[in-house]
Each structure stands twice: as structure tokens, then as C-alpha cells.
A and B are shown apart, each in its own frame.
Chain A
């Protein structure tokens, strides 16, 4: 079975500062990895995904993530935080043969301060 660990349930950054949200996964087969964002009282919106190929993945709103197999990590970054980035972020994994069932981490609440 696969799992996801998100280090840091709450992260606070200043506007304009680097955003780094950590995600580590566990999977016995090659994973597919996703980052979703959830704004208050809304569903999940896909930020980016890694399936195969290039390990540096660019997503919407200036976010990107790098798949590092040796570190079993898929950390999410953004060079410069904006107030509108304040939300909850979820890392998720699926695997081939898993019928695209997603296994989520517990989430990281991002706060952006002036």
C-alpha cells in the first residue's frame, strides 16, 4: 500500500518569500504524484502532477514540484508567495493498477503574512 507524509501541518511565510511545502511518499511501485489546493469551503483543485518523464513539474499559479526518487520526495515550491496563496495544500499518490484511487497526506495549511 502507498502512503504520503506531509511535514508541517502549518507553514507561515511572508508575502514575496519562498514557499516550500514538503511531501514524502511510500510506494512499492512507481508512483504518480499530485498536489491539490483547497480554499475554504471549496473542493480540491489540481495544482500539478508527476506521472513519468521530466522530474521537475510546473503547475498553475507559479507552483512547481520536483520528483526525487532517491529521497522519495515531491516537495512543492513557489519562488514568491502571494496573499492569494493562503490555503490548504494536499499531496496525493496513486499507482498503476490502483484504478487512480488517491491516497492523500494530512495537508499543510499555508499562511501568507504581509
Chain B
């Protein structure tokens, strides 16, 4: 039973560039959430996708956008990268967006470094 998989594992970009991170949810899951974890901090919710639509969004600027595909996989795009975007980006999946009592399953993340 494949868990949540993310690619790439590491990425180095320079300021102003754009980046795309990818996530495949755990088998059977249909909801994907993205979190940003800065060094020494807890994960911060970016947004959540269900049925190919963004359903919830955290306090992140429009530079952060996403997409969910018919197979439930998802992408996170960040434009005009800033030094402060350096972080571990975590993808989490779950079954059913409305089930707040269902735990989310996390991938190992993509470490993004901005030079």
C-alpha cells in the first residue's frame, strides 16, 4: 500500500524563479493538503484540494497556487520565489474533505532552498 509520495526530495532555486512540487496521495485518498514547514517551526497550512478544486486556503499570497488532477495527484506552484520561501513543503492526503476527525497522512516532503 503506497503512502504519500512527493517529488523531488530536494530543490535549489534562486530568487525570482518559479517552482513546481508534486504529490501523489495515499491509495484510496481523494483530498490533498499542502503545508509549509520553516526551519524550527510547525507546519503551516497552505491550501487543500478536493474534486480538483481549491477548497480551503491558509494565509499565503497568490504566488502560491496549486492544482489537483483527476487521479487525485496534486502540484504546488510557487512564483517569484523569495528567500523566505525556503522550507520543507509537506503534502498530506486524506479521505473526504469534510471528515475533520480523519488523520492526514504525510509524505516525506520536498526541501526547497532559495539562494
**Contact (Cβ within 8 A) A106 B42:** yes
Q: How many residues of A contact B (CB 8 A)?
A: 29
Nearest chain B CB to A47 CB, angstrom units: 10
Q: How far is the CA of A97 from the CA of B101 in the complex (A)?
A: 10
Stretch of A14-22, A36-44, A67-75 that contacts chain B: A36-44
Q: How far is the CA of A96 from the CA of B101 in the complex (A)?
A: 8
Q: Binding site of B, secondary structure by majority: helix, strand, loop or mixed?
A: loop
**Contact (Cβ within 8 A) A32 B108:** no
Q: How far is the CA of A97 from the CA of B99 in the complex (A)?
A: 8
With A105-B42, A106-B41, A106-B42 known as contacts, the answer to whether A100 contacts B108 (CB < 8 A) is: no
**Contact (Cβ within 8 A) A97 B106:** no
Q: How many residues of B contact A (CB 8 A)?
A: 31
**Contact (Cβ within 8 A) A99 B48:** yes
Total contacts A to B, CB within 8 angstroms?
76
**Contact (Cβ within 8 A) B109 A101:** no
How would residues 1 to 36 of chain A score, 1 for a CB under 8 Å from any chain B CB and 0 otherwise?
000100000000000000000000000000010101
Give the contacting residue for A41; candidates B106, B107, B108; CB below 8 A. B108
B87 in the interface, Cβ–Cβ < 8 Å? no
B97 in the interface, Cβ–Cβ < 8 Å? yes
Contacts of B50 on A, CB cut-off 8 Å? 99
**Contact (Cβ within 8 A) B106 A44:** yes
**Contact (Cβ within 8 A) B48 A102:** no
List B residues at the A interface (Cβ < 8 Å): 4, 31, 33, 35, 40-45, 48, 50, 55-56, 58, 90, 92, 94, 97-109
List A residues at the B interface (Cβ < 8 Å): 4, 32, 34, 36, 41-46, 49, 51-52, 90, 92, 94-107
